[in-house]
């Protein structure tokens, strides 16, 4: 499990220089972003965490990551029944994307404690399994238009120290456009590391 940023690209670099390690055994931390999304929704809707489903964070662990809105349900109802579109677009999404920077600015220190907690969550669910969909940075097999061979955050289900990418999430055209942007950034980061891109 890779935590240090740029986590997705570092996972790619690790795999490139250690080809004997199975790609599926290398993951990176995007659970922190997932947890931040959950926390926002719980506070805004005054809802217990176990009543919130469908949080899915896609892409790079950076300002281009995108938390899907259409897939979220609160107490079995679409999130848009609970909060305004304005809050989702102007508060929820930017806060998930920028929360790390905001913590640095507000506290004058890093978000290391929440990252440590997210690391525990990531490893626990990866090892023990989870009934709920969670977000993990894993190697793409081409799901959701993310090129095969790069590490991206995806919605996954974990079981028996394994995971499976959830492939049937219904995404909006807007979300798909955001995935193109985060994919572009991921490929540019690989170029910046002076490592050949995976064969697309």
**pLDDT score for 50:** 93
Supply 75's token pair. Answer: 């107490």
**pLDDT score for 105:** 55
- pTM comes to 0.91
Q: Which residues are catalytic?
A: 61
**pLDDT score for 199:** 74
Strand, helix or coil for residue 195 = coil
Low-confidence spans in the chain with pLDDT less than 70: 99-111, 200
Between the alpha carbon of residue 143 and those of residues 117, 152, 155, 169, 183, the distances in Å are 28, 10, 11, 10, 12
3-state helix, strand, coil in the chain (%, to 5): 50, 15, 35
**pLDDT score for 157:** 96
List of domains in the chain = 7-192 (3.90.110.10)
């Amino acid at each position: 499990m890779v935590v240090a940023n740029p986590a997705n690209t570092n996972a790619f670099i690790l795999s490139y220089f250690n080809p004997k390690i199975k790609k599926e055994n290398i993951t990176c931390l995007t659970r922190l972003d997932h947890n931040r999304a959950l926390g926002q929704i719980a506070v805004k809707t005054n809802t217990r965490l176990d009543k919130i489903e469908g949080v899915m964070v896609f892409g790079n662990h950076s300002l281009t990551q995108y938390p899907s809105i259409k897939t979220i349900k609160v107490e079995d109802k679409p999130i848009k029944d609970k909060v305004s579109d304005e809050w989702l677009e102007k508060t929820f999404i930017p806060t998930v994307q920028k929360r790390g920077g905001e913590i640095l600015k507000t506290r004058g220190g890093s978000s290391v404690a929440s990252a440590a907690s997210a690391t525990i969550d990531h490893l626990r669910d990866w090892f023990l399994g989870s009934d709920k969909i969670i977000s993990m940075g894993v190697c793409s097999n081409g799901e959701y238009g993310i090129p095969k061979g790069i590490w991206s955050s995806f919605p996954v289900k974990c079981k028996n120290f394994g995971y499976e990418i959830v492939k049937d999430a219904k995404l909006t055209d807007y979300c798909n456009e955001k995935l193109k942007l985060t994919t572009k950034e991921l490929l540019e980061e690989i170029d910046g590391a002076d490592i050949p891109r995976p064969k697309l």
